[in-house]
A and B are shown apart, each in its own frame.
Chain A
Amino acid sequence: MEKRNSKSREVPLTALKAGESGIVKYVRFGHMRHGHMRHGHGRAWGFEKRLMDMGLTPGTRVTVVKSAPFLGPFEILVRGSRLALGRGIAQRIFVEVEQE
């Protein structure tokens, strides 16, 4: 991984190493903003909403515990509970890494 500088920076959750923490800034699901698109059963916003409901709201501190091998899901700690997040989802969560 690249070198850590003293300034805080925004990276996808997947860039954190085991044991590192960050503060959730935003979740990016490109086409899902503003709710303009029509969708069959109206659940295109499901992931984002689900992440929020699980407590990954902006400003929340998350800690990466580990990731499963072969590009498997991430294990994170958030609000005192342990979550498993698929890599595709974790890539869309942007966090601010705390200064060293």
Chain B
Amino acid sequence: MNKKKLLIALAGNANVGKSVIFNHLTGLHQHIGNWPGKTVERAEGTLHFKGYTIDIIDLPGIYSLSTYSLEELVSRKYIAVERPDIVINVVDASVLERNLFFTLQLMELETPMVIALNQMDMAKSKGIQIDVKKLEKLLGIPIMPTVAVKGVGIAKLLEKAIETVEKKPAKRHPQVTYGEEVEGKIGKLMEKMKNVHFVYPPRYVAIKLLEGDEEIEREIRRIDPQIVAAAKKLAAEIESIHGHDCSTVITSERYEAAGCIVRAAQKLVSPIKPTRGERLHNFTTHKVTGYLTLVVAMLLIFYSIFTFGDYTSGLLSDVLYGLEPFFAGAFGTGIVGALIWGGVMEGLIAGITIVLPYIIPFYLILYFLENSGYLSRIAFLMDNIMHRMGLHGKTFIPIMLGFGCNVPACLGCRIMETQRERLLAAFVVTLVPCAAVTVIILGLVGDFLGIHWALALYIVDLLIIFALGRLAFKVVPGEPTALIMEMHDYRWPHMKTILKQTWFMVADFIKVAFPLIILGSFILKLADVTGVLEIAASVFSPITVVWLGLPAVTGITLVFGVLRKELALVMLAALLAPTGLAILTPLQMVVFTLVAMFYIPCIATIAALWRDFGWKKALFITVFEIAFAILVGGIAFRLLTLVT
């Protein structure tokens, strides 16, 4: 092994500036992906410093190292199993107590660490003064004060980290000393585990067993079930002494320890008048001005994403379709030419013109909202309404964006905390009528039957979304969602970080989704030129003609709608020439639109689902929605026939 290699992990609460520090350190040498098999984001980067090749991993932002969320589990395992040479614990100086609560848990993992005491400027503006030397002494961990958004202290932080690694610190940090009863039980458990070798340090295991940590219990039970039984007994004893369960007692005492340190090292110099951030907070969460701001902000976001998207999309489309004659010249207009142009190139063009112009501005705005702190205020204001669907306030953002394009909306579901919430939100999002579906609604029903019919369809759609959302919430196992969220102080985000986050997310999306989009497009075209599609249409005819009462050609157009939904309408108009769409009865128009609204997320959306949730769930959602659309269309056909 080359000893000039280092592995550094960044750990800390959410929104403390971890990713800003990560971006300062790693520049453009990063890779963002997911943890194997999880929807938890994993950011890695490499840098060279003082002759070292340093790999940096940015662990997810978390508040604790229990098993509340996947993020916590992933982080804890990473530190225990991968054993980074050093952990940089990023701490928000303006919310010191909560942050130290996490620091104390990291210390219990007995990993070498340094602390980046970040947001010193924010602490100062809140009238908080921290005695760094004293804090360092109390914790027994080297500390570097930083202001990450301004790049202050970053180089020194890295130097300090390397220095600490080179010094090979004594293995043990001083740790939290719990109350007498708890310490006694920890001692007893450690005694019992003398001969047990496990990835986590023995004291940590003892504490976690007393806390009833299920993952650790499971692992230890495999080694020696008696230890777990003993731990349960000891925990029950603590419970009877304190009247709270053991986990609560331990957490309280840990917080108490954090509080003690804070009281010793931190001084509140005159709580100065409300800061600008605080006034902004009050304004944006106020029952009147808050909602007004929200409406204005949403309209602005929606408008800017779609004006930009529409304009760029048109521009790109013109340029790319201008290439068609060259392709026709090079490959001819026969089957090969059709496959190359109509299959591969049109798939690529669909990807470039639909996806990129919308997801790039979307990511920029999403990261801006998240990093500045506004996202949490939106969640605060919208929680109640979303809650009725079993989702919490943050879901509002992806759902709103879904009206524009389902793709970024699905990807935006990652802002939810748990896997379950993400899946539920993504499911609801794929039912939201996107811009292309709106084209169908307005272009068919709106044009021929009048705007009130179009509106009625919209309302029906929203009601169905609401009902399905509730249903999914009931069916998918897991605990009910509830909002427990920190609203950190507003701050102006670090633009370079936002740009980089956007860049890496988009790059990752291209890598995963584009092959799928192109492949899907190619297969469709292949089916078309080989005549399979015609056969498919006749196979579908029991569904389209008998069950839905639509012309047989709609089968083909709906298949093409998978590529991009508005194609379903455009092709239908072409296939019904010379009369065009007018030949459809009003009833057929309504049924066709209903089916188009629900029947399948488009191929780019499926790719997005695949990327974030795996192919099984993507397939399930797709199949479910096809079945559901056919069901709804058929029912509507029969009901409306009765009425008219």
Contacts and interface: CB of A to CB of B under 8 A. Distances in A.
Interface string B378-392: 011101110100001
Contacts of A66: 285
Contacts, number: 134
B248 A68 contact: no
Interface in A64-100: 66, 68-73, 75, 79-89
Contact of B484 (A58, A81, A89): A89
Contacts of B285: 66, 68, 75
Interface of B: 63-64, 66-68, 94-98, 101, 212, 214-215, 244-245, 247-248, 251-252, 255, 259, 281, 285, 287, 376, 379-381, 383-385, 387, 392-393, 477-480, 482-489
A73 B483 contact: yes
**Top 6 closest A-B pairs, CB basis?**
A42-B214, A86-B483, A53-B64, A57-B252, A72-B384, A52-B251
A60 interface: yes
A48 B281 CA distance: 27
Contact of B383 (A42, A43, A59, A86): A86
B381 A68 contact: yes
Contact of A59 (B252, B477, B479): B252
Contacts of B96: 80
B244 A84 contact: no
Interface string A11-48: 00000000000000011000001110000111111111
Given A68-B285, A68-B380, A68-B383, A79 B484 contact: no
A50 B97 contact: no
A67 B384 CA distance: 11
A57 B393 contact: no
Instruction: Select the residue from A34, A45, A57 with max chain B CB neighbours within 10 A.
Output: A57
A55 B380 contact: no
Given A40-B477, A47-B482, A49-B66, 6 more contacts: A27-B248, A50-B68, A53-B101, A73-B483, A79-B255, A80-B94
10 contacts: A47-B482, A47-B484, A49-B66, A53-B68, A55-B255, A58-B244, A68-B380, A68-B383, A73-B393, A84-B376
Contacts of A83: 484-487
Contacts of A68: 285, 287, 380-381, 383-384
A75 B487 contact: yes
Contact of A42 (B67, B244, B384, B393): B67
B117 to A, nearest CB: 15
A33 B486 contact: no
Interface residues of A, number: 44
Contacts of A33: 245
Instruction: Select the residue from A26, A27, A33, A73 with max chain B CB neighbours within 10 A.
Output: A73
Contacts of A88: 387, 480, 482
Given A53-B66, A79-B255, A84 B380 contact: yes
A58 to B, nearest CB: 6
Nearest to B65: A53
B95 A80 contact: yes
A82 B486 contact: yes
B381 A72 contact: yes
A84 B379 contact: yes
A53 B251 contact: yes
B487 A53 contact: no
B387 A86 contact: yes
A79 B479 contact: no
Contacts of B477: 40
A30 B96 CA distance: 32
Contacts of B478: 40-41, 43
A57 B392 CA distance: 24
B366 to A, nearest CB: 19
Contacts of B486: 54, 81-84
Contacts of B287: 68-69
A73 B489 CA distance: 18
A50 B393 CA distance: 18
Given A53-B64, A68-B285, A73-B393, A84 B255 contact: no
Nearest to A47: B482
A52 B248 contact: yes
A77 B64 CA distance: 19
A71 B480 CA distance: 18
A80 B92 CA distance: 12
Contacts of B383: 68, 72-73, 84, 86
A71 B376 CA distance: 18
Contacts of B248: 27, 48, 52, 57-58
